[in-house]
Amino acid sequence: MSVFGIVVEGPRDAAVYPAIIRKIRPEVRIVPEACGGVHALRTKFVGWLKYFQYMQCVDKVLVIRDCDRKDPHIREAQLRDRLDKSGFRPAFPVHFYATKSMVETWLLADLEAIREVARRRGHEPKVKEMKRPLEEIDDAKMQFEAVLSEVGLPADDKVYEEIASAAEIGVIEGRCPYFLKFREQIHAC
């Protein structure tokens, strides 16, 4: 069994990404580490790589950040450059991935997963389908939290994880075309 370390922005990301990755590669174990935001990720991810190497607990690491609809390749190159300039050379492969939009965009893609979690928690899951392209939403987090509020769910790490676990990869990919790049990246690791 391969073990992936993932370094992500925050605790909600640390809840969602393992659930999504397990859907893509069920045979891997994931060790998530949250940094406390995108700025903290940029300044702390090399430290987490050193930690993973010291603990000898992972086979490879994926550093994931949002790029908030900016060019993902530029954001990935910036992270790669920061690692190069640090002088640290990990003994394991390190992959960088910048999502085109926030992780909440992926969760918004499968409204049936949100409804399912709401039903399991005893809430009335009335929420309308969104017609606009999800990857063009400026503030997906605010939109997602509004949907959670509509169905009576708190916007906490556990709800994020439950929705990610209930979501269908094909549905996410159909509503968020750039998700295919993430899927390819996970298979390439």
In this predicted structure, what is the pLDDT of residue 147? 94
- What pLDDT sits at residue 9? 95
CATH number where 14 lies: 3.40.50.1860
Kindly tell me if the per-residue pLDDT of 130 is higher than 80.
no
Domain match, 15 and 87 both: yes
Residue 188's pLDDT is: 85
- Residue 118: pLDDT band (50, 70, 90) is very high
Question: What local confidence, expressed as pLDDT, does residue 142 receive?
Answer: 93
User: Nearest 5 degrees, angle CA 59-CA 5-CA 97?
Assistant: 110
Mean pLDDT in residue range 87-116: 94
Average pLDDT, the chain: 93
State which residues form the domain around 45: 3-101+177-188
Same domain as 115, residue 82 = no
Nearest to 160 by CA among 96, 110, 126: 110
* pLDDT of amino acid 39: 92
- Each residue's pLDDT tens digit, 4-41: 999 999 999 999 999 999 999 999 999 999 999 989 99
Looking at the fold, whether 88 and 129 belong to one and the same domain comes out as: no
Tokens of 17: 């990404």
**pLDDT grade, residue 45 (50/70/90)?**
very high
State yes or no: pLDDT of 68 exceeds 80.
Answer: no
CA triple 107-24-4, angle to 5 deg: 100
Q: Which helix (H) or strand (E) holds 39?
A: helix 38-55
CB contact at 8 A, 100 and 182: no
Residue 69 has pLDDT above 80, yes or no: no
